[in-house]
Amino acid sequence: MLLLGALGALVVNSLNAYLLVLILYGLVLILLGAFLSRKVRTAADFFVADRKLNGRLLFSTVLAANIGAGSTVGAAGLAYAIGLSAWWWVGSAAIGTLILAWTVGPKIRDLAAKHGFLTVGDFLEYRYGTSVRVVVSVLLWLGTLAILAGQLIAFAWILEVVAGTSKPTGCLLGGVVVIVYFSLGGLKGTARVNMLQLAVKAIGFLICVPVALAAVGGWSGLEHKLLTDAAHDPAYLDITGIGWVRIFSYVALLAPSFIVSPGLLQKIYGARDSRTVRLAMGANGLVLLCFSFFPVILGMVAAATFPDLLHRELALPMVITELLPFWLGAVLLAAVFSAEVSSADAILFMLSTSLGKDLYKRFVNPDADDRTMLRISRRITVAAGILGVAAALALESVISALEVFYGLLSVALFAPLVVGLYRKTPGLKGCLAAVTISVPSAAVFHLLTSGHGIWILSPTAFGIAVSFATLLVALLPGKQKPVFPTRSKFG
């Protein structure tokens, strides 16, 4: 009742129809989450949907997570600045997803089912040992808060334009919606909420992109406005206009992240078999490749129509409010809101399952029963959501927030996880060395090159190379012994 009263007062004070649409849609998500929470009775339901996700549910929950702030508000803002080659921001994620579908995904799903893994931390401890689990988990917790903040920042940007609200108000409203419905339903409930969100996204972007293009005279009209009125260089309309060095930096940053992201892998744990993983994730990558053009086109339309925006991430909100009729703008607004909160729930999923299972169950209360784990995971979700809101208030932009997470994730986890899946060595010492050397090395390289790297060697690519090189040394005969337990302790 307090939440309804606060939201009602906000509507009365702002008298904004767009804000009313968002609040009503947010309430629908919350009520749906509450309804589905009746099916969540065990920690296995909350963590891995009792390992019964079919292809349709796995496809929708992963794609809903992948289409978030970075691939909507962030991608449109990037396109506003650099043009068609902003496609590589989301396109690189699609490339990583396709690789995940046929390599890491099915293999780690089968291991998770066999040994009862609930988190990526479970796999790391099984493969390397407790120390690796702790070190990698702590690094990822910090980075994960940054990506959660990125989703909330995107929502705040939108509300600032369409309703004139402050950044704290936008972050708080988005945070409340996602915290409530995810803490109630976990993966089992959220996978079904994500189906609704994905449908709204599809309808919103499929209808609005052609209408926005028509508003500037179609593709030819857009080209004329960009090259003549806005005085852009022809490279702005070239998909490789930013150059292969920068393109490679996007691929190095994003493709590995989408192969080893704990949020995606733990959703894959919930698949009913490895065939489901291959089909659902393969379809996911193909759809993401196509979707990648939608926010880019909208960002370029904004550049042609509003060439003097104070901040590039206002591009998509400006299209919503200024170029589309209200009803259509409301549909796209709901689609973008779906994108932000569906990615945010995937991030809360990472935080709650990792902290609940990797920290609480493993070190604080090993004897915690199923009911206790469910209760603790829900409480962690609320606490993590509050911290995410606080981080959103401290960070400035969506892309800056996401780069923190993706860079840290790729450098810390990509090489240890991939090598660990396909080789029996290295063991504990080799993996710890790879993590503890590569992350500081990438940070120092970033500082020395002002974040630009050297030629195609971006800071993220450099960190990944250092990690693989360290593991390669550990793979030399006699350097390490494999660490594979004879039986599972994770179920």
By percentage, how much of the chain surpasses pLDDT 70? 86
pLDDT digits (tens, 9 = 90+) for 40-70: 666 666 666 678 889 998 998 888 888 877 7
Tell me what pLDDT residue 98 has: 96
Tell me what pLDDT residue 105 has: 95
Q: 154 with 398: CB under 8 angstroms?
A: yes
Instruction: Write phi, then psi, for 91 (nearest 5 degrees).
Output: -60, -35
Asked if the model's pLDDT at residue 479 lies above 60, the reply is no
Instruction: Kindly state the average pLDDT of the residues 67-88.
Output: 90
pLDDT digits (tens, 9 = 90+) for 407-466: 777 888 899 999 999 887 777 888 889 988 998 998 898 888 887 788 878 888 999 999
pLDDT digits (tens, 9 = 90+) for 280-317: 999 999 999 999 999 999 999 999 999 988 888 789 88
Asked if the model's pLDDT at residue 240 lies above 80, the reply is yes
CB burial of residue 76 (10 Å; 0-12, 13-18, 19+): buried
Tell me what pLDDT residue 10 has: 43
Cα–Cα distance measured from residue 376 to residue 361, given in angstroms and rounded to the nearest whole number: 10
Q: Residue 149, Cβ neighbours under 10 Å: how many?
A: 30
Cα–Cα distance measured from residue 362 to residue 170, given in angstroms and rounded to the nearest whole number: 36
3-state secondary structure of 53: strand
Structure token pair of residue 149: 């903040």
Bigger pLDDT: 16 vs 389: 389
Tell me what pLDDT residue 263 has: 80
The DSSP result for 24-44, as a single string, is HHHHHHHHHHHHHGGG--SHH
Cα–Cα distance measured from residue 79 to residue 488, given in angstroms and rounded to the nearest whole number: 48
The overall average pLDDT reported for the chain is 81
Bigger pLDDT: 176 vs 107: 107
Domain(s) labelled CATH 1.20.1730.10 in the chain stretch across: 16-406
Q: Choose the weakest-confidence range: 176-180, 188-192, 321-325, 388-392.
A: 188-192
CA distances from 449 to 166, 415, 443, 455 (A): 35, 23, 10, 11
* CATH class for the domain made up of 16-406: mainly alpha
The widest CA-to-CA distance across the chain, in whole angstroms, is 71
- SS3 percent helix, strand, coil of the chain, rounded to 5, is 80, 0, 15
- First-to-last C-alpha distance (Å) of the chain: 39
Tell me what pLDDT residue 1 has: 41
Q: Which residues lie below 8 Å from residue 124, measured CB to CB, with a gap of 6+?
A: 132, 133, 136, 137, 416, 417, 420
Bigger pLDDT: 87 vs 378: 87
Asked if the model's pLDDT at residue 243 lies above 70, the reply is yes
Asked if the model's pLDDT at residue 6 lies above 50, the reply is no
Cα–Cα distance measured from residue 423 to residue 109, given in angstroms and rounded to the nearest whole number: 17
Amino acid identity of 122?
A: D
Cα–Cα distance measured from residue 29 to residue 399, given in angstroms and rounded to the nearest whole number: 26
Amino acid identity of 19?
A: L
Sign of the CA dihedral 194, 196, 201, 206?
Answer: positive
Tell me what pLDDT residue 28 has: 81
Cα–Cα distance measured from residue 35 to residue 37, given in angstroms and rounded to the nearest whole number: 5
